[in-house]
Amino acid sequence: MITVPERYNVSTLLDRNLEGGRGDNVAILCGDERITYRELLQRVNRFGSALRARLRREDRVVLMLNDSPAFPTAFLGAIRVGCVPVPVNPLLKWEDHRYFITDSYARAVVVDQEHYEKAQRALEGHSEGVEVIVANGSAPGTTPLDELLRSGQDELSPADTHRDDAAFFLYSSGSTGNPKGVVHLQHDVPYTCETYAREVLKISDRDVTFSTAKLFHAYGLGNNLTFPYWAGATSVLSPGRPAPQALLEAIQRFKPTLFFGVPTLYNAILNFPGARTYDLSSIRLFISAAEALPPEIWRRWKETFGLPILDGIGTTEMMHIFMSNTAEAMKPGSSGKPVPGYEVRILDDDGQPVKRGQAGHLLVRGDSAAAHYWHFHEKSKATMVGDWMRTGDWYRQDADGFYWCEGRSDDMMKVGGLWVSPVEVENTLIEHPAVLEAAVVGVAIEGLNKIKAYVILREGKAGSAALVEELQQWCKGRLARYEFPQFIEFVPDLPKTITGKIQRFKLRGPQAAPSPR
């Protein structure tokens, strides 16, 4: 059992490094900047003390920030004075930011200068007074973050928060409707650090982390902020969009030891010309999450770079990965086994445990689980059943105890009365030498359920009726006869979330009427 003191403030992740003699360790590498833990704590204290003069305890602070030193400064600075930071994707539209600000009752917004116009528009006509703090630049009528850092105090005791007080919100992307504010508590962070970070990553103060998932997302927040700060390690922050060449160049420059990606990006790196010429030898572990990693990508990566990818599953509600392959035990294509500190179970539609080998709804429990959804009481009750959390994923467990994702529960397809996993069909299509990516959905034709595949072809390959037939035969030879796609459409891209998850619900929409080509 992991014990967190009753009075606990998660910003003290930084204090523990000074107390442990790691104050001069480099906490952040960002471009030409090198910031030590001593310097970062000073920035956090200065921002927190300036914020305390403006806001009250538990006031929400929306963060529209890229991955730069401004993010951990604002995130931990707000928590240090008992405020609640709300990181959001700065690349979204101004209408989305208006929703975040309004829904969270934010009293302040910290925004990068390049995103300021969106914040300004989001606040037009807003009835409550909201202070705007601009990072990495300035804007008329706003408060520059640099000014707050100059005026704040170097020493600041953390607010006397309870371990069960709200620490921060993370808005889930959601498949439909408005995003849900996932409320995490002060004790959730150390729980993930003492479980996944310690048991799977075995992170230490000698590590350098680099995450393609950004800090506003639960996966990126753990990868590149809470985990390294807990261990006294170094994090590499990159403000730009994750593109293969920029990532490969950053790896060569900063020499990370832990690299966190998503399947789409691993695939993009594999297909980037000249990828093999880059030196990735500093990395001791490659990690993947956000979407099930196809076995074909796993195999190609190991053949190309000599190391496997550790795939796992986590959710915003659980804050990070709760089930994972490890360096000692892995099966390509699986999500591994539960991380120590977490339990999982698979239930049928009636809430009864399924037999091993059968698929059903995946539930998880562990003490990093969110308290509730902000303003979604009914959804909270449906998802958070006692101390178990419904993940919304469809899983099975094999004879060796490894768990396999069959897809989202609402993505599963029933064809001829039998369940079909979109992930299994997609993985089979990706193994074909002509296929780069694939997404599979169920469609209704004259009242009958059929399978349709959307396929992105490799460079130099052209779609044709002959290739459709070839792909169908390829699936029939490797899957059950009823699992092949009756319809295949060749497309230039697929709808995805910011973390690379395929948005199958968009492919099932009215615009996705099947065409046998």
Q: What is the pLDDT of residues 250-259, one digit of tens each?
A: 999 999 999 9
Same CATH topology for 189-409 and 412-512? no
What angle separates helix 263-270 from helix 295-305, to the nearest 10 degrees? 50
Beta strands in 56-187 (DSSP E): 60-64, 84-87, 106-112, 131-135, 143-144, 166-171, 181-185
- Antiparallel, parallel or unpaired: β 26-30 and 33-36: antiparallel
Fold of 189-409: Rossmann fold (3.40.50)
Domain extents for the chain?
37-186, 189-409, 412-512
Give the span between the Cα atoms of 490 and 14, in whole angstroms: 50
Confidence of residue 496 (pLDDT cuts 50, 70, 90): confident
Confidence of residue 447 (pLDDT cuts 50, 70, 90): low
Fold of 412-512: GMP Synthetase; Chain A, domain 3 (3.30.300)
- In a 10 Å sphere around its CB, with 0-12 CB exposed, 13-18 middle and 19+ buried, how is residue 366 labelled? buried
Confidence of residue 409 (pLDDT cuts 50, 70, 90): confident
Mean residue pLDDT of the chain comes to 93
Tell me the whole-structure pTM to 2 decimals.
0.88
435 forms beta bridges with 457
Task: Kindly report, residue by residue over 351-391, the tens digit of the pLDDT.
Answer: 999 999 999 999 999 999 999 999 999 999 999 999 999 99
Task: Kindly report, residue by residue over 29-73, the tens digit of the pLDDT.
Answer: 999 999 999 999 999 999 999 999 999 999 999 999 999 999 999
- Antiparallel, parallel or unpaired: β 403-408 and 413-415: unpaired
Host H or E run for residue 39: helix 37-52
Percentage with pLDDT > 90 across the chain: 84
Place of tokens 């004259």: 446
Question: Domain 37-186's class?
Answer: alpha beta
What's residue 464's pLDDT? 94
CA count, 13 A, side-chain hemisphere, 177? 5
pLDDT at 398 over 50: yes
More confident site: 178 or 270: 270
- Antiparallel, parallel or unpaired: β 403-408 and 258-261: unpaired
Output the DSSP codes for 214-234: -TTSHHHHIIIIIHHHHHT-E
Residue closest to 111 by CA, chosen among 64, 162, 173: 64
pLDDT at 513 over 80: no
- Antiparallel, parallel or unpaired: β 166-171 and 181-185: antiparallel
Cα 308 to Cα 275, 286, 287, 296, distances in angstroms: 16, 7, 9, 12
Give the span between the Cα atoms of 52 and 157, in whole angstroms: 12
- Label residue 214 left, alpha or beta by phi (over 0 means left) and psi (-120 to 50 means alpha): beta
pLDDT at 103 over 70: yes
Confidence of residue 416 (pLDDT cuts 50, 70, 90): low
Least reliable range by pLDDT among 59-68, 244-253, 507-516: 507-516
Q: Name the residue type at position 348.
A: D
Collapsing DSSP states into helix, strand and coil, what is residue 83? coil
H helices of 335-464, in order, are 377-383, 422-430
pLDDT at 299 over 70: yes
What's residue 296's pLDDT? 92
Cα 269 to Cα 196, 238, 505, distances in angstroms: 26, 17, 27
146 forms beta bridges with none
Collapsing DSSP states into helix, strand and coil, what is residue 124? coil
Confidence of residue 509 (pLDDT cuts 50, 70, 90): low
Q: Name the residue type at position 451.
A: I
Confidence of residue 129 (pLDDT cuts 50, 70, 90): confident
What's residue 1's pLDDT? 65
Q: Which two tokens stand for residue 468?
A: 């459709």
Collapsing DSSP states into helix, strand and coil, what is residue 16? helix
What's residue 516's pLDDT? 36
Collapsing DSSP states into helix, strand and coil, what is residue 258? strand
